[in-house]
Amino acid sequence: MRIKILGSAAGGGFPQWNCGCRNCNGVRDGSIRARPRTQTQIALEANPEYTLRTHWTLIGASPDLRSQIVADPDLRPFRHTNSSTPIYDVFLTSADVDSLMGLLHLREFQTFKIFSLPAVRRILAEENSIFRVLARAQPAVQWFSIPLASHAAWPKPLESHEPPRLICRAVSLGGEYPDFVGEKLRRELPPEEAVVGLALEYREKRLFIAPSLSGRNPQWKKWVESCDLVLIDGTFWSDDELIQQGRGKKTARQMGHLPLAGPAGLLEQYPYESRARKILIHINNTNPVLDEQSAQHRAVLAAGFEIAYDGMELTL
């Protein structure tokens, strides 16, 4: 499985258009050592046996998706076709604007599959009619449900004669539905479907993806322990980061993100036993780890984490 990080920042990107924080100003004027980043977008190449063509899966659909696809030669239409794409499917982890707005970039009469929890589909279908543009393709974009795992167990291994395929489980992470979801619908939706992580397996290699980890449901730790690679929430360094910088009134935890530092933060809670390669993703522009000369940057590296950047490529 090949994994590409097409975007690694949280919502707003880095720098964010209207943000004058130390990091955003610093990356604009070159006074800090940091890389600009687009909004979080992951792509996986996991080819099923039935096709000789490359087969890419998008994890999330970022607001920057059009430019992220255009910038990557692997995601161009197949040669000698008038209309095609190696992108076959999109897996959604929540109904957050930053994780699905990019679906609108994929509206150009292209058929593909969307995998999500039923709640995310209902939010788009019942309250956000603009997403009906996806139904204009012939045949229309198809929706499928991702099975929600009740406990940390991988499906049984494939028999040797079975073709390789991408296996996915959704892991409830205990987050909340976005503010834009109407009261009536919100009351009907199951809380466990609001924000999920994805446990993916392909050719016996396992990957766990959780760009929004509230920490309210400890189930994620079990999955992390059984994976080879983990892409996990690096949104905020400290719980009061936005308040300190005058950029918001909510704490990281109130926004559904476990901060990296502090008591019971991600660095402290991360399973000690895990041998998986661990990479922070979805990094907010205010996070001091973005400054490559900061003490916080050094601290996460010393704790064994890597920090995702746009263009990072991984193989499993």
Contact 41, 68 (CB under 8 A): yes
**How is 146-206 classified by DSSP, letter by letter?**
PPBPSSS-PPPPPPTTSPP--EEEEEE------TTS-HHHHHHS-GGGSBEEEEEEETTEE
Element (H, E) at 4: strand 2-7
Q: Assess 27 for contact with Zn ion (CB under 5 A).
A: no
Of 15-23, 133-141, 184-192, 261-269, the window that binds Zn ion (rule: CB under 5 A) is 15-23
Subset of residues 263 to 292 that bind Zn ion, contact rule: CB under 5 A? 285
Is residue 19 a contact residue for Zn ion (CB under 5 A)? yes
Nearer of residues 24 and 260 to Zn ion, judged by Cβ: 24
Residue 277: its H or E element: strand 277-281
Look up residue 6 and give its two tokens: 């097409």
Least distance in angstroms from the C-beta of 24 to Zn ion: 3
Is 24 among the residues that bind Zn ion (CB under 5 A)?
A: yes
What span, in angstroms and rounded, lies between the C-alpha atoms of 125 and 39? 24
Mark the segment that binds Zn ion (CB under 5 A) among 24-32, 53-61, 194-202, 250-258: 24-32
Q: Are the C-beta atoms of 115 and 86 separated by less than 8 Å?
A: no
Stretch that binds Zn ion, among 22-30, 112-120, 121-129, 228-236 (CB under 5 A): 22-30
CB of 22 to Zn ion, least distance (A): 8
Nearer residue to Zn ion within complex by CB, 30 or 263: 30
Number of residues counted as binding Zn ion (CB under 5 A): 4
Binding site for Zn ion (CB under 5 A): 19, 21, 24, 285
